[in-house]
Amino acid sequence: MLFPPTDSRIVARRTEIVAALKAIVPDGVVADKSGLSTFDTDAFSAYHQMPLVCVLPSNREQVSAILKYAQGEGVPIVPRGAGTSLSGGALPREDGILIGMGRMKRILEIDYENGCLVVEPGVTNLNITKAVEASGFYYAPDPSSQVACTIGGNVAENSGGLHCLKYGLTTNNLLGVTMVLPGGEIVTLGGKAGCQGGLDLLGLVTGSEGLLGVVVEVIVKMLRKPPVTRTLLASFNSVPAAGQCVAAIIGDGVVPAAMEFMDRRCAEAVEAYNQPGYPAGAEAILIMDADGVEADVSDAVSRITDIVARCGGVTVEATDEKQRTRIWSGRKAAFAAMGRLAPDMICMDGTIPRHALPQVLDEMAKLSEQYGLGFCNVFHAGDGNLHPLIIFDMMKPGEFDKAEAFGADILRLCVKVGGVLTGEHGVGVEKRDLMTDMFTAEDLAQQGRVKCAFDAQGLFNPGKVFPTLSACVEQGHVHVHGAQLPHPHLPRY
Ligand SMILES: Cc1cc2nc3c(=O)[nH]c(=O)nc-3n(C[C@H](O)[C@H](O)[C@H](O)COP(=O)(O)OP(=O)(O)OC[C@H]3O[C@@H](n4cnc5c(N)ncnc54)[C@H](O)[C@@H]3O)c2cc1C
């Protein structure tokens, strides 16, 4: 994998850079080795890299001053929320300032009349819902990491979650952002009424993976909690039967609030981990929520139950809130439970058209045999967003490389059947070198020009998303070229 090379001239100026940042944020600069080591990776934990320095601003003026300074001095910037990115989006640079947004975590306004909240970027996803749940409202996108991940990170990754099938991803629940551009200018895109005409810059910034600026304020929609939610657990004695059932339910016009798939290996690991009560021996299970008003929910439940039976499955319904929570607790613990199967794991993230599900599940099983590595399937089935978990042992020579190659083949397969490289985890460093499998050179050059329009010097999160930034050269700006990524598990400092 390629990574823009470290600029040793910047590393040599570390003392001076630390002093300049301390002048901007006197109580928020982490420069000691042990402090920095807590930031040397994100949830794509195969790769480690100590940052040059980490700065933790408390307000947008400080962010602006930091970015102005960094641009003036040509120092790279890596934005960071909670560091739960699964694609290495927040991986620091040896010659770069890591700007951690965790201190900016105030809920600034709850506006019931306009149905929205105004929050700082470091607020966790779950705390947005907690701020309004007593009044019967919530924030819909619910990543499994919601207890930790920040709304700034959610905007940057266009994050999804269990209930995005019906309620959409971050982009569908976002009304506006205020961000600081690489030169320090503060701009607001959208607002309480959303984007009104003109270029959809809010859409452009959503999912831009920290490449265009730092988000310092977010306006999100709040929704009223549905009056009724019922949870169904369907079990199948074959994976293709479960895949066909997903297609049949969606084809029938039912839109469950959530529809999650787990294969036998995953369900068994989860059962051993936190005993959610999944049926023993099932080759695949689907967990589904139907929500809304009573009549609609009853109709959806009876149609889903019929379709499951026609596909050869068996449906059980949660009898009360306690059982609902228990069933979902298993799904939410799926990543943690995989730790029982092997010491290391990579969570892939590709999206496919739903009709291709049986074919892709079958081909993934063949790839697993070919690579001699175990994997299990857990994914947001309703919207075709796959999260195969590849398990391996980093200490065994060659296993990490094999796991990466297996993962890359899965993503190529997603593209081959008409899907895309990512559904919600982003490209980061993980999928960066696969971008050419999905986009033509012209596509990438055009995307690069958009990046350069915001960040002409290529200082924002260099090495992420783009295989190269040659478009900046075409436009007469700085060229960011390739070199090796820091080696897995070999921190450098
Ligand atoms: C156990 C687990 C479960 C997960 N489940 C889901 C899931 O269900 N759905 C899902 O979509 N994702 C999931 N994720 C992935 C991850 O939680 C999301 O991508 C999340 O949005 C990252 O938020 P963060 O605050 O941790 O951001 P970070 O990891 O710190 O950063 C992610 C990216 O955002 C950029 N960034 C962060 N803050 C800002 C800012 N203020 N301004 C500009 N750029 C910024 C960073 O540069 C980086 O590129 C999961 C991760 C884990 C570990």
The residue that leads in pLDDT, 378 or 339, is 378
Is 3 a member of any domain? no
pLDDT, tens only, 276-305? 999 999 999 999 999 999 999 999 999 999
Contacts of 325 (CB under 8 A, 6+ apart): none
Q: Which atom of ligand 1 is nearest to the CA of 79?
A: 47
Q: What is the pLDDT of residue 196?
A: 74
Is 249 a member of any domain? yes
Is 321 a member of any domain? yes
Q: Which two tokens stand for residue 11?
A: 């590393």
pLDDT, tens only, 134-168? 999 999 999 989 999 999 999 999 999 989 999 99
* Domain membership of residue 235 as a residue range: 228-336
pLDDT, tens only, 420-469? 999 999 999 999 999 999 999 999 999 999 999 999 999 999 999 998 75
CB atoms within 10 A of CB 96: 27
- pLDDT band of 478, cuts 50, 70, 90: very low
Q: What is the pLDDT of residue 188?
A: 96
Q: Probe ligand 1: pick from 149, 204, 212, 432, max atoms within 8 Å of CB?
A: 149
Please enumerate, as own/partner, the contacts of 199-203 that have beta carbons within 8 Å and a separation of 24 or more.
202/174, 202/176, 202/177, 203/171
Residues 96 and 111 in one domain: no
Ligand 1 centroid vs 9 CA: distance in angstroms?
31
Q: Which two tokens stand for residue 419?
A: 């899907």
User: How many angstroms separate the first and last alpha carbons of the chain?
Assistant: 20
Indicate the helix (H) or strand (E) that contains 317: strand 314-317
Strand order through the sheet with 389-392:
344-347, 389-392, 374-376
pLDDT, tens only, 12-32? 999 999 999 999 999 999 999
Ligand 1 centroid vs 455 CA: distance in angstroms?
21
Is 476 a member of any domain? no
Is 194 a member of any domain? yes
CATH number at residue 393: 3.30.70.2740
Residues with CB under 6 A from ligand 1: 42-43, 78-86, 89-90, 101, 121, 143-145, 149-150, 152-154, 156-157, 159-161, 209-210, 214-215, 335, 424-425, 461
User: Tokens 């200082």 belong to which residue?
Assistant: 459
b/e per residue 446-473 (b: at least 16 CB within 10 A): ebbeebbebbbbbbbbbbbbbbbbbbbb
Nearest CA to ligand 1 atom 6: 143
Contacts of 83 (CB under 8 A, 6+ apart): 39, 41, 42, 43, 90
Q: Which atom of ligand 1 is nearest to the CA of 155?
A: 21
Is 455 a member of any domain? no
Is 214 a member of any domain? yes
Ligand 1 centroid vs 116 CA: distance in angstroms?
22
Ligand 1 centroid vs 153 CA: distance in angstroms?
4
Residues 194 and 219 in one domain: yes
Contacts of 380 (CB under 8 A, 6+ apart): 160, 162, 164, 165, 258, 259, 260, 261, 387, 423
Residues 246 and 347 in one domain: no
Q: What is the pLDDT of residue 422?
A: 93
Residue 218: exposure state from Cβ atoms within 10 A (0-12, 13-18, ≥19): buried
Ligand 1 centroid vs 149 CA: distance in angstroms?
6
b/e per residue 327-347 (b: at least 16 CB within 10 A): bbebbbbbbebbeebbebbbb
Torsion angle of C-alpha atoms 92, 27, 35, 151, degrees rounded to 10: -50
Ligand 1 centroid vs 238 CA: distance in angstroms?
33
Ligand 1 centroid vs 318 CA: distance in angstroms?
31
**Which residues is 17 bridged to in the sheet?**
none
Is 493 a member of any domain? no
The average pLDDT across 40-44 equals 94
Could you tell me the pTM of the whole model? Answer: 0.93
Q: Probe ligand 1: pick from 42, 144, 208, 431, max atoms within 8 Å of CB?
A: 144
CATH number at residue 143: 3.30.465.10
Nearest CA to ligand 1 atom 7: 143
Q: Which two tokens stand for residue 240?
A: 């293709």
